[in-house]
Chain A
Amino acid sequence: MPDRVAFRGGGFSPATKPLAGIATLVLCVALWQAASWAGWLPKLFLPAPDAIAIALFRLARSGELWLHLGASLSRLAVGWSLGTVAGLALGLAVGLFSIARSPGMAVVSALFPIPKIALVPLFIIWFGIGEGSKIATLALGVFFPTVINTAGAVDNVPRGLIRMGQSFGLPWISIVRKIVLPGALPAILSGFRITSSIAIILLVAAEMIGAERGIGAFVLSAGNLYDTDNLLAGIVVLSALGLCVAWIIGRIERALLAWR
């Protein structure tokens, strides 16, 4: 009998199993909790999940959590929006106009690699120790990646579609509004995922310098006191904040990019 031909195709197709993801997280927390109960993890070294949950609950009930969260959220909203609006404007200009392209990219390339945290002292001199310097740190941190991402998104809109618009005599503004912007939108939205994470990282850093309220300030003061329960409670809030923002962007993508 001739040999049977064995199956060897199938390609690489890792499957997504959401339940497995959740189960892994639950398992990690359970192991952590078990190790704490067993006495393998001293409280100061790493507080147990139940201690963190209790700390969070106390913070929420006393209202302290909402004060800090409110201060952080408003900084995040204002700083991210300012950086994003300015970044979108310059990014579109770089993508669309020759006059903006080389000068814009030169400035962005020179300034983007600077760690924005290093500029905080300067921002405090320029904008004061209050909200101004914190929002400026956030906005600047968001601005540069937004410019680079938006310019790239515009460049990646298929040239054939733009030529199609021109061949039908569409006015310039219609080509931009109906072809370039929708074509660039998916990449712009995925850029929002990155810039929102950058904003959260910078928010905490900025709040560690001269802020009374804010999750960053709270984490810093808990750390100074070696109050590790509250320190980790603050970090859990930051993680949840990141997840919420990612979820919101995901919803926006689903609503705006239904055609994909």
Chain B
Amino acid sequence: MIVRQDGLALGLAGIFHRFSGLLVLDGIDLIIPAGEVTVLLGPSGCGKSTLLGILGGLIAPNHGEVRMSGAVGRDCLNPLTYVFQDFSLLPWRSVAGNVGLVLEDHPMTRAARNDRVAEVLALTGLSEFAAAWPRQLSGGMRQRVGIARALAVRPACLLLDEPFSALDAQTRDLLLEEFSEIITRAGTTTVYVTHNLSEAVRLGQQIVVLSRRPGRVREIFRIDRPVVGRRISDVDLLACEARIWELIRLDAAAAVREIADA
């Protein structure tokens, strides 16, 4: 069973980053609290995916550093674990093979590995698709595999880069619901990048609103009630969504024009 862990907190200090001379992140200081869902929200091109890459050690920032503190579960194999927008599944491996991939280089018996794969497949509703090829699955099912793969390493912190943005609205709502239950049960620290406001308020306990490029922290909203049980139509969530929209609409409009110009 996946057990609640003490949790991992992350701290970003003085992060500056440029891409080919263009300033993308302009002095980000941020705490990601342990065991909570932090949403990084901002218009297209604001550097939120870059920030997630820096958090996970996949991008080296030009300035500043990321620190992590707190306990990591004993069976955690990869403390900072990604879920990718494009699923990043190996098309030549079955569903079970894709999940098993991330366990194969760790010292565990084949039986233990198979057990763990079976467990996360059951958790994500994929048990009967274990032998299927990724190409046989719908987008929603593929991202379930992405989530199952991430859970298989018992992450202390999940880093999700617009994981449901390639899916249709209904699939997205269903997966959001399942996903919020899974992470709440596991108590995993979660950082969720999105540009979708209703996703942000549906999942976020801390919602970090970034400005358009160069990305700065504009404001941090908090929604302290548990993630499980939230409905998109809840009044407090809608109110929060409206406040965030007021804050970012000019930025969002400007970002649209910026991309069109480029």
Q: Point out residues on A near B: beta carbons under 8 Å.
A: 160-161, 163-171, 174, 178-179, 182-183, 185, 257, 259-260
Contacts and interface: CB of A to CB of B under 8 A. Distances in A.
B129 interface: no
Contacts of B90: 161, 178-179, 182-183
Contacts of B86: 160
B88 interface: yes
A183 B88 CA distance: 12
Contact of A164 (B77, B80, B82, B92): B82
Interface stretch (B26-34, B101-109, B119-127, B215-223): B101-109
B58 A167 contact: yes
Given A170-B102, A178-B90, A182-B90, 14 more contacts: A160-B84, A165-B101, A167-B78, A167-B81, A168-B78, A168-B101, A168-B153, A169-B77, A169-B105, A174-B104, A174-B105, A178-B104, A183-B90, A257-B92
B133 interface: yes
B135 A167 contact: no
Contacts of A178: 90, 101, 104
A259 B78 contact: no
Nearest to B98: A164
Interface in B76-117: 77-78, 80-82, 84, 86, 88, 90-93, 101-102, 104-105
Contact of B58 (A166, A183, A260): A166
Nearest to B86: A160
Contacts of A166: 58
8 contacts: A160-B86, A163-B58, A168-B153, A170-B101, A170-B102, A170-B105, A178-B101, A260-B91
Given A163-B58, A259-B133, A171 B105 contact: yes
Contacts of A182: 90, 92
A167 B77 CA distance: 12
A178 to B, nearest CB: 6
Contacts of A179: 90
Task: State the majority secondary structure of interface residues on B.
Answer: loop
Query: Looking at chain B, what size class is its interface with the partner chain?
Result: 20 to 34
Contacts of A161: 88, 90
A259 B92 contact: yes
Contacts of A260: 91, 135
A165 B102 CA distance: 8
A180 to B, nearest CB: 11
Nearest to A257: B92
Nearest to A182: B92
Interface in B135-157: 135, 149, 153
Contacts of B133: 259
A224 B207 CA distance: 85
A257 B91 CA distance: 10
Given A163-B58, A259-B133, A259-B135, A168 B102 contact: yes
B56 interface: yes
Nearest to B56: A167
B159 to A, nearest CB: 8
Most buried by B among A168, A179, A259: A168
A168 B81 contact: yes
A257 B86 CA distance: 22
A166 to B, nearest CB: 7
Contact of A169 (B78, B91, B92, B135): B78
Most buried by A among B58, B78, B88: B88
A102 B148 CA distance: 40
A88 to B, nearest CB: 18
Most buried by B among A161, A167, A182, A257: A167
A259 B91 contact: yes
A171 B86 CA distance: 22
A259 B88 CA distance: 16
A163 B82 CA distance: 10
A185 to B, nearest CB: 8
B258 to A, nearest CB: 25
Contacts of B88: 160-161, 163-164
A260 to B, nearest CB: 8
A178 B100 CA distance: 12
Contacts of B104: 174, 178
A16 B149 CA distance: 40
Contacts of A259: 91-93, 133, 135
Contacts of A164: 82, 84, 88
A223 to B, nearest CB: 47
B131 to A, nearest CB: 12
